[in-house]
Structure 1
Amino acid sequence: MKRIKGVEGERLEFKSCKGAQRAMLPRDLWKNISAFANTRGGSVFLGVDDSGICEDLNEKDLDRLQRNASSLINEEFNKRPNVEIINHGAYVELKVAESPFYDKPIFSKKRGEALIFIRQGSTTVKADDSQKRSMFASASGGGENRLVDCNVHDSIDSDKVNTYCQLTGLRGIEGLNIADKLRKLKAIRDGKLTNFGLIAFGRDDVVDDHLSNVYIDFKYFRGKSKVDDDLEDIYRDRKEFHGDIKQQFEAAFAYLMDYIKKDWPVGGRLNKQTGLREDVYIMSEDAFREALANAVAHRDYAIETSCVNIDLYEDRVEMTNPGESLVAIDDLEKTESRARNPILMEFLKTYRVTDKSARGILTIKQAARKQGLLDPTFENISGSFRATLHFSSPYSTKDKAWVDQLAKEHSLRDTQKNALVFVRNNGEISNKKYCEINHMESRNDDRKARRELADMADKGLLHLKGRGPGTRYVL
């Protein structure tokens, strides 16, 4: 009997089809097809048992499997998945493509939305509530495709449209009127402006009239909390930013950075490329930019009851947007961003509002770690997503003074400083723990950690204790 090369995994499933008298489709085949369509795509091999052995089906059996599979694909699902049916002579392959975000989730019409399946490793599993919300939210386009009941020509600033067309290098627009250009830019649907069209190209007064909660609310609090019984006025400052989305972002970002530069200056350094001295602040501008860009780009514009909030406190800044994260919180640093509003995201990237690499979360975390600050926190709260950038260090004042002095004397990296403080408070450190506290995860990072520990031992800052897997470093 023929054995299939390869094993079952995230993108491959074997299905036995041998019945008592004739080949039959497995009763749960719809789960596998929908799971592949909802995840990264994959293939189902019909007529192959769990060990990868072909079941020696005859030509008539294989033809029947093809016909029945075609009927299932055409009739079973809420939206038809893209499946290629291939007869390999010994088995039938159903090659399932991942469905586009606007078609997800794929599920059985008979069984309804309660039974939505995805692929996890080599297993087809039921999607949890968070995963379902992510798929439905992504399919809705985060509200950017909602239609706005307003007159297109009276609502649009044509200069904004023409400027954007020039920046994108869009072809075939010469001689087109504004409405046709907007169609090319996916800003008009069924003859009406979409939310994206209005927030990107709308006149300022029209945006406010029709999308009253599409603005940024900046609040600077006097303490570390929104509530303080000792303060009659809890705000140092409060300001709202309206207009099109680019104007909102640029004005709010500049306003925030004015306070960051004034109230949290750290010092200065020499720029080796320009030869000029430049100011250094509590965290890089890129980190604040990415946090705010994330809030603007990924907010759910279908939620009409709240806006984007910037809450500045004496020890942190919180940026909150309507709509929970489409990616699990624990996976934010490892996974590329999933755009809730892909058309708006391209618009913001064109204007360099957000990072083209879609790794904004990683940029924020790296900026905090570089400055020796507490890691930023990200959380879903009651239908919203919040990013918190902390201004405090995980070190105590004494630890910071001690390690900063050592760094001046011995030219230490930030990772080495973290390790010294850890040893000071915990007695010893291993190579594994060094990688853990410094968020070093690759094989190259492991070698780098060994070199940096050895460097501190050579400088007399640490002493080697033990050998092999039991190696530790102490002060």
Structure 2
Amino acid sequence: MNPIHLMQRIRLGEDSTLELKQIHIKDAGKNLEPHPDGLSDELAAMGNANGGLMVFGVDDKTRAVTGIPAEHLDRVETWLTAICTDRIKPPLEIATHHLELPDASGQLQAVIVAEVPRSLWVHQSANGYFKRIGHAKREMQPDMLARLFQQRSQARIVRFEEQVVPKARFDDLDALLLRRFLKPDQGDVITQLARLHLIDNREGEALPTIAGVLLCTLDPTKWLRNAEILAVAHSGLRNDPNEQLDAQEIRGPLDRQILDAFHFVRRNMTTAARKPLGRVDYPQYHLGAVFEAIVNAVAHRDYSLHAQRIRLFMFADRLEIHSPGALPNTLSLESMSRLSVPRNEILASLFSRYYPVDEVGLGKSYLMDRRGFGVEMLLRESEKLSGKLPKYESISDLELCLTIYAQSLPVLENP
């Protein structure tokens, strides 16, 4: 905790990861302000977002260091810990630091800096569920709250894929699509499908789950309107309708979407060739990397975002795949190539066991590799071909964009 750096941040004012709080001590230290309920909302909002620092002993309006009397430091810290433990559920774990910062006259004043981590949990505070957006807290609406629960580890208690789909019935599942999951010696049909979380039979009626609708219906968009891929190919470098070469709305069960999207890229990418001593092809993209990127987008996207779909854009110099949802909790852009943390565990498991790949030359036995080396291969082979490392970008915690750069095609001589 560098005081000089902290003072620089304080002078610039509050932002999404910095909150300033002046402490008022009343009745000989018996009562403290701000009010514990409001403070619990601020702390939980920060933990529900990306974490940050809350500095006690600084006026948030003037940014002046007002300090905390040394004899009350322990009292303030005990009060703060009690708020995090008693008024926030589950309790919010913070780290506190006692520092001295200069006030306007240059005198050092004691402050307490509470370091709030980006929590593994979703926290409810005194007045509800809040998330820090910009420099203020915002109460989370039901759809935002549902997404946050799904993103974080509480989603492991009730996984989104296991939820029953409203208005979907067992008869909506396609018999041919179900056949791949059924084995003659593993019990009756309902038992086997329930074991794989494709249906929910706990209430005595076999009802399709989200995973069941995505994998075993001919058109999942009848129930989950976002479960599709929009693919567009352009001749130029930007998203210009006048330069559009091809477009397709790709629907169907997820494995069909993956293959149709892959064939869309292969159909629209340029492959130059030379024939000096035999034909030599120069494809724009490594097909194995493209296939892996599409599989990852379909398997790991956030299906709770009902208004967003996967978007695939081809340009003259790059391929972009936009996948709805932030990275799964505990995963970062830096750790993606080394860790495998699936958002949709059921889909990932079934893709790695029940969906063999028939496409020649992809070097894959199943849609997903249980070893988790897919992203590493994607990055390595794409960089080897184009000379540029693919780029992952997280956009406002709502979308993950992967850009794969095209190989520069050689200038071919006229025959």
Take 1:355 and 1:106, find their aligned partners in 2: how far apart are those partners?
31
Take 1:223 and 1:282, find their aligned partners in 2: how far apart are those partners?
14
Q: TM-score, normalization: structure 2?
A: 0.56
Match of 2:258 in 1: 249
Take 1:358 and 1:134, find their aligned partners in 2: how far apart are those partners?
25
Take 1:356 and 1:268, find their aligned partners in 2: how far apart are those partners?
40
Take 2:167 and 2:148, find their aligned partners in 1: how far apart are those partners?
30
Listed as ranges, the matches of 1:389-468 within 5 Å are: 389-392=404-407
RMSD (Å) for aligned C-alpha atoms = 4.0
Match of 1:264 in 2: 271
Q: Is structure 2 residue 228 aligned with structure 1 residue 215?
A: yes
Take 2:130 and 2:371, find their aligned partners in 1: how far apart are those partners?
35
Take 1:153 and 1:269, find their aligned partners in 2: how far apart are those partners?
59
The residue type paired with residue 348 of structure 1 is: F
Q: 2:305 aligns with which of 299, 303, 328?
A: 303
Take 1:109 and 1:249, find their aligned partners in 2: how far apart are those partners?
42
Secondary structure of the structure 2 residue equivalent to 1:140: helix
Q: 2:199 aligns with which of 179, 188, 192?
A: 188
Q: Is structure 2 residue 144 aligned with structure 1 residue 140?
A: no
Larger Rg computed on CA atoms: 1
Identity of aligned residues (%): 21
Q: 2:374 aligns with which of 338, 360, 369?
A: 360
In terms of fraction of residues, the more helix-rich structure is: 1
Q: Is the 8 A contact 2:292 2:378 kept in 1?
A: yes
244 and 108 in structure 1: CA distance in 2 versus 1, 3 angstrom threshold: closer
Listed as ranges, the matches of 1:155-170 within 5 Å are: 155-166=172-183
Q: Shift of the alpha carbon at 1:193?
A: 1.6
Secondary structure of the structure 1 residue equivalent to 2:334: helix
Which structure 1 segments of 5+ residues have no match?
Answer: 1-72, 80-102, 116-132, 271-275, 402-475
Q: Shift of the alpha carbon at 1:290?
A: 0.9
Q: Is the 8 A contact 1:269 1:279 kept in 2?
A: no
Q: Is the 8 A contact 2:383 2:390 kept in 1?
A: no
286 and 384 in structure 1: CA distance in 2 versus 1, 3 angstrom threshold: same
362 and 269 in structure 1: CA distance in 2 versus 1, 3 angstrom threshold: farther
The residue type paired with residue 105 of structure 1 is: W
Q: Is the 8 A contact 2:211 2:347 kept in 1?
A: yes
In terms of fraction of residues, the more strand-rich structure is: 2
The residue type paired with residue 327 of structure 2 is: S
Take 2:287 and 2:340, find their aligned partners in 1: how far apart are those partners?
20
Match of 2:388 in 1: 374
Match of 2:213 in 1: 198
278 and 200 in structure 1: CA distance in 2 versus 1, 3 angstrom threshold: farther
Q: TM-score, normalization: structure 1?
A: 0.49
Provide, for residues 97-124 of structure 1, a one-character-per-residue CA deviation record: whole Å limited to 9, x for no partner. xxxxxx9528798899789xxxxxxxxx
Listed as ranges, the matches of 1:34-53 within 5 Å are: none
The structure showing larger relative contact order (alpha-carbon pairs under 8 Å, at least 6 residues apart) is 2
Take 2:347 and 2:275, find their aligned partners in 1: how far apart are those partners?
36
Listed as ranges, the matches of 1:270-281 within 5 Å are: 279=281, 281=283
The residue type paired with residue 344 of structure 1 is: L
Q: Shift of the alpha carbon at 1:375?
A: 0.8
Secondary structure of the structure 2 residue equivalent to 1:345: helix
The residue type paired with residue 157 of structure 1 is: D
Secondary structure of the structure 1 residue equivalent to 2:165: coil
Match of 1:331 in 2: 335
Listed as ranges, the matches of 1:110-149 within 5 Å are: 136-138=150-152, 139-140=154-155, 143-149=160-166
* Number of residue pairs matched by the alignment: 269
Q: Shift of the alpha carbon at 1:136?
A: 4.7
Secondary structure of the structure 1 residue equivalent to 2:242: coil
Q: Shift of the alpha carbon at 1:197?
A: 0.8
311 and 301 in structure 1: CA distance in 2 versus 1, 3 angstrom threshold: same
Match of 2:319 in 1: 317
106 and 256 in structure 1: CA distance in 2 versus 1, 3 angstrom threshold: closer
Q: Shift of the alpha carbon at 1:280?
A: 5.2
Q: 1:344 aligns with which of 336, 340, 347?
A: 347
Q: Is the 8 A contact 1:152 1:193 kept in 2?
A: yes
268 and 306 in structure 1: CA distance in 2 versus 1, 3 angstrom threshold: farther
